[in-house]
Amino acid sequence: MKISFHLALLPTLIIASFPVAAADTQDNGEHYTATLPTVSVVGQSDTSVLKGYINYDEAAVTRNGQLIKETPQTIDTLNIQKNKNYGTNDLSSILEGNAGIDAAYDMRGESIFLRGFQADASDIYRDGVRESGQVRRSTANIERVEILKGPSSVLYGRTNGGGVINMVSKYANFKQSRNIGTVYGSWANRSLNMDINEVLNKNVAIRLTGEVGRANSFRSGIDSKNVMVSPSITVKLDNGLKWTGQYTYDNVERTPDRSPTKSVYDRFGLPYRMGFAHRNDFVKDKLQVWRSDLEYAFNDKWRAQWQLAHRTAAQDFDHFYAGSENGNLIKRNYAWQQTDNKTLSSNLTLNGDYTIGRFENHLTVGMDYSREHRNPTLGFSSAFSASINPYDRASWPASGRLQPILTQNRHKADSYGIFVQNIFSATPDLKFVLGGRYDKYTFNSENKLTGSSRQYSGHSFSPNIGAVWNINPVHTLYASYNKGFAPYGGRGGYLSIDTLSSAVFNADPEYTRQYETGVKSSWLDDRLSTTLSAYQIERFNIRYRPDPKNNPYIYAVSGKHRSRGVELSAIGQIIPKKTLSARFVGRDAGESR
């Protein structure tokens, strides 16, 4: 149940009749009146559940400002207000059930696969900034989630191949709104949230969003609490300059549910609602993001955008987990870890329209730089465990840094990228896309316990080609080819490289390429949108050492990993008060030689 208090009125409908005087060369004294047709203005609350069933015309993830319908790749845009109303806050839970996405719970981070390829390591973004690292990603301040499917290296650089997930934050805009809400649900899931957007004048708007909440679980001893606050300001000048500044603080503390498997419960006759949290078990996730977004419109055809952001994401955990049968006891594993992730990102994008003869073109040029740090410190040994009596909780040992530091690494990645993409309009309804990107990157890892360090550098070129044909106003056909790369033999997702001096690097990147075709349609006077697509993704240049002991420098190329499938998604309003959100997926994955 959600209760919302709306402090601002919706736009008011104004209907006016204007007297019109008819005159000719001679004033005959006659006057006439004409009544203009009624114009309806429809507003919708930002907390309305219908927000989850609205499709968007554009998506920031494309970086070119073009219509989703005329982008030759599958793009899903999810307004997550529906999920908020039901108390769902984790990214993996929100994405679960969407076409082409496999998501599951993972205590340390997301477990998300796009079209069969892992996406949570390096293919998740917040406002265009890569959210690398093994962390849980809260959506407390997120308005919508954009999913661009297939390799997207031409826009974002390194990728695992399945696609890109971009979370778009709520920030100050020039639409006045004030909302305060409260949520109470099962297992004492309760929260208080606020979202106040104030238009100070025609040039300045400020916004403050916040949330505080707590929740228990169906299992005893499992709970969580969260705090989020995000102030932002937008300044818009009359000369075409607009700037948005935003700070986001998001902190979540959990007692994790990492119980043994069902078979262990059954073996000891334990109720499934029994939790296995030990004293002092905890997980803490803290996110802080500072971002600046500067836009300038040179004229009605050319505009530039510079995004600068600094992100820190820390995860600290210390707890027992899982468990196996050990006679009349349960043998439990244990680990603690402190991981800090930092990202400094700068993205400059230029978009413009120009003509060559009678042909219209849209040009996008981008320059990207990022520096990422990942610093894990871990206390874990497979030889260390604790056997507990499941019927005597008081005898269970408490957590608390029970192992010394056994892993302490420092990873750093620098990447530079430049891309160009041009959309050529052969006719107003037939468009061709051609783009390419060059990336240069360096990875560095240091083992703080041994003092050893290694560095790895490389570069890659990623093309994309596409075509779009508007058959009529409601149906659009498209086809595309996209290529992506994953550096360091596909193992660069968490930035780490082997620091041993004897290690032989798999220096070549792995590549993915996607062939996709489909049709995007609008039905029922644009109230219902559908996308039907067929695709094939191949990962290739997968290298291995046939004889690493005797010939460690000799690599061979194995077969390809392939994922092909058909996806159908539909979202919209069928009839008044009846909405539809449906997905169908058929996928086949395998290996080929």
Q: Is residue 431 part of a domain?
A: yes
pLDDT at 303: 98
What confidence category does residue 11 fall into, taking pLDDT thresholds of 50, 70 and 90? very low
Average pLDDT over residues 130-156: 88
Q: Is residue 134 part of a domain?
A: no
Q: Is residue 213 part of a domain?
A: yes
Closest residue by Cα to residue 71 from 533, 480, 530: 480
DSSP-derived secondary structure letter, 29: -
Count of CB atoms within 10 A of residue 429's CB?
14
pLDDT at 140: 84
Closest residue by Cα to residue 59 from 161, 144, 118, 131: 144
Q: Is residue 438 part of a domain?
A: yes
Q: Are 489 and 509 in contact (CB under 8 A)?
A: yes
Structure tokens at 131: 């959210």
Q: Is residue 519 part of a domain?
A: yes
pTM comes to 0.86
pLDDT above 80: residue 559: no
Q: Is residue 45 part of a domain?
A: no
Alpha-carbon gap, residue 155 to 125, rounded angstroms = 12
Question: CB-hemisphere CA count at 13 Å for 447?
Answer: 13
Q: Are 395 and 328 in contact (CB under 8 A)?
A: no
pLDDT at 39: 38
**Phi/psi of residue 508, each to 5°?**
-80, 145
Cα of first residue to Cα of last residue in the chain, in angstroms, is 54
Report how many domains make up the chain.
1
Structure tokens at 592: 């080929």
Q: Is residue 224 part of a domain?
A: yes
pLDDT above 60: residue 144: yes
Alpha-carbon gap, residue 228 to 205, rounded angstroms = 21
Q: Is residue 295 part of a domain?
A: yes
Q: Which residue range is the domain that position 521 belongs to?
A: 177-592
**Phi/psi of residue 93, each to 5°?**
-70, -35
Q: Exposed e or buried b for every residue in 93-119, given b needs 16+ CB within 10 A?
A: bbbeebbbbbbeeeebbbebbbbbbbb
Q: Are 515 and 536 in contact (CB under 8 A)?
A: yes
Alpha-carbon gap, residue 163 to 78, rounded angstroms = 15
Q: Are 474 and 521 in contact (CB under 8 A)?
A: yes
Average pLDDT over residues 474-497: 86
Q: Is 539 exposed, middle or buried (0-12, 13-18, 19+ CB in 10 A)?
A: buried
Count of CB atoms within 10 A of residue 436's CB?
17
**Helix, strand, coil share (%) of the chain residues, nearest 5:** 5, 55, 35
CATH number at residue 428: 2.40.170.20
Alpha-carbon gap, residue 164 to 534, rounded angstroms = 18
pLDDT at 18: 30
What confidence category does residue 493 fall into, taking pLDDT thresholds of 50, 70 and 90? low
Beta bridge partners of 463: 436
pLDDT digits (tens, 9 = 90+) for 530-545: 999 999 999 998 877 7
Q: Are 409 and 375 in contact (CB under 8 A)?
A: yes
pLDDT above 80: residue 388: yes
pLDDT digits (tens, 9 = 90+) for 421-431: 999 999 999 99
Q: In what order do the strands lie in the sheet with 117-118?
A: 101-104, 111-114, 117-118
